[in-house]
Structure 1
Amino acid sequence: MKSNDYLKGRGAQQNIHNRFLKDIHEQRDDFLEFCRLDGEEADRNKTKYLPIFPKTIVNKVTSPDVGMHYSMNPYQGCEHGCIYCYARNSHEFWGYSAGLDFERQILIKKDAPRLLEEKIRSKSWKAETIVLSGNTDCYQPAEREFKITRACLEVFLKYKHPVGIITKNALLLRDLDLLKELAKDNLIGVNISVTSLSEDTRRILEPRTTTIKKRLESIQMLSENNIPVNAMLAPIIPGINSHEILDLAKAVSDHGAVSMAFTLVRLNGAIGQIFTDWIHKTLPDRAEKVLHQIEACHGGSLNDSRFGVRGKGDGKIAEHIHAMVHLAKAKYFKDKIFPKLNTELHERYKVGQLSLFQ
């Protein structure tokens, strides 16, 4: 049962201090009382889109336990507001809070398609899958207005370059025409996150995301068009969605996913404080139980930063989750394989299709 001071439509319930900043911003009680007496809103809870102009867009991923080598993010911050999102911490690098700012101050990279084209046309670049997005969702609500992800897909198609997508938004079906063209040459793989089959759970965990029904329908639509889909059952949170593993695996498999993956929740950096505040306001009756179970998976802490362990956890609860995942894969994904994307075509298209006639 949610507490009375729960902020609807958002994941984070506060703006916590940015560890890189000296000054602290807080709302004082006298200011809140002034707003109340004057009939004004102290916080209008609106999303702002702010253009930024990076010099590069493709990032090399050095982490040994992340399944990608290169990523790019058309947007920083994410209006989906997933309470557990590891990307929240990256918003502090831009001078914002990992809390509400992450969901409401969205940084827009309009130059992303041009920067991408420059990168994959460079003489030193050798084709390797670039993933949209390794940090924040490339199909979050901002994409409806700015269409940066679509423009980037057009670049990948033009140069026959492999691309992966990670999203939990059915908006990607808007670009089905491009995805189908990429799939003809095995240049596209899609990862769709499905965290729960319960809409009540989704609404509090991921308040501004596509419904579970639409995500499953997206998996089915992509699969029917020969676009391979990996279902990401992530994160698994003990006491919240850990009991759904088999049901989730069956649902995504039945809708056409060819593989599944999972991570066990870890609350690194500022996320521990944000999640703890959120769960006490959202699920106060089981808040401490859930927090203690997460700690039991990470050696008594809400976070474990060790490579190879941090996304898997250890201890009895983690072992039980791993056993369920193993069973789910054996039962619902036997003989299914997510294909390796094609890196052979790009070199011939690096300077555009005219190279075919030389």
Structure 2
Amino acid sequence: MKPRDPMAYPDAPVTVWPIGEPAPRPPVGLAGISVWVRNRALDPPYWGHARAVGVDDRPLWWGLGRMVAWVAPGEHLAEVRHDGVAESARTVRVEAGEVAELEFWTPASIGGAQGVLAPPPGRRTGSGWGMLPAGVLAIVLVTAVLGLTHPGGEAGPGYAVPFFVALLVAPVLAILAWSRITRARNHSYRVAVSAEAREPVRDVMFLGDGDAPEAGMLVVTGAVNARYLWNGHAGLGVPERDPHSWVPAPSLTIDGRAVPFGPRTWGYRLPPGPHTLTVTPRLPAPAAVEERYRYLPLPDLTPEITTTPATVRVDIAPGQIARVEVTVDATVTVRVIAESATSPTVLAGFTGKSTIKNR
């Protein structure tokens, strides 16, 4: 499909910021957070690159391009998701009348790597087209070795099979090696742009893809994996199109006290000793309906909801960092309110299971 302009979810406080035009003015007393989901010329422009964008765990728009979210002054968490997974997130501090800018580079077309949300200028990640030259170079090297070992071209029948096996295997190994190298570079880049981890230490810190700035902290890495069923079927609907596909970050309590939490990595300064963590999945928030569909009655559904919390005890030793991974595996089932592929939906079911493991 051809790319389109970014599409706002109903009633979302956002404004399109066309590329090449000056930034829009924030409403009185508000600030703006701009997210530009980018797509380079060498990448095929298809909806596989489209992302869902939200601020403070509220989905606001989806697609390619740039929009500005209007928010209250202060600190906010901007997030970009794809297929129900939070690819990248960043904290942003904005003052009234200010528009903060973020760029998100989609992964390269060949190979896979999660995109990165960072202040401009951002950098595209992924294995990219370099994998093809790596494979071709491997074939050239195998052929060159044959030419050096058998200059006359008479390799003999016993050499033919190993040679052709090498021609098949060498490109695969070269591509895999290139992919691993670029993935390592991508991870280093993600860590480098996680400026939050370099800020002064606070009791609660969003670390992004970085690490704890000091010892004696609890580091919790969170992930939500959401499966989206559109009218009972997987793969038919476009999750990014539907704000109901946005599964909120689970609630996290430490020793019975609720603490801020979300995707990627968070740090908590806690006293040494045992602590109890409890993680509980949360349902998608009810989504507003577009104006053109508001005359239709909503289906009278009672969603089937199952949430499974998880609890773990963590011991924090003096001068050490305790690490925990939190995962929520969720299934979101929706029903359309009209006979249309782009129709709004209502939540028909939700299952969410939390798991916690010490690292």
Q: Into which bin does the TM-score normalised by the smaller protein fall?
A: under 0.3
Q: Which has the higher contact order (CA 8 A, sep 6+)?
A: 1
Q: TM-score, normalised by structure 1?
A: 0.23
> Which structure is higher in helix share?
1
> Which structure is higher in strand share?
2
**Rg comparison, structure with higher value:** 2
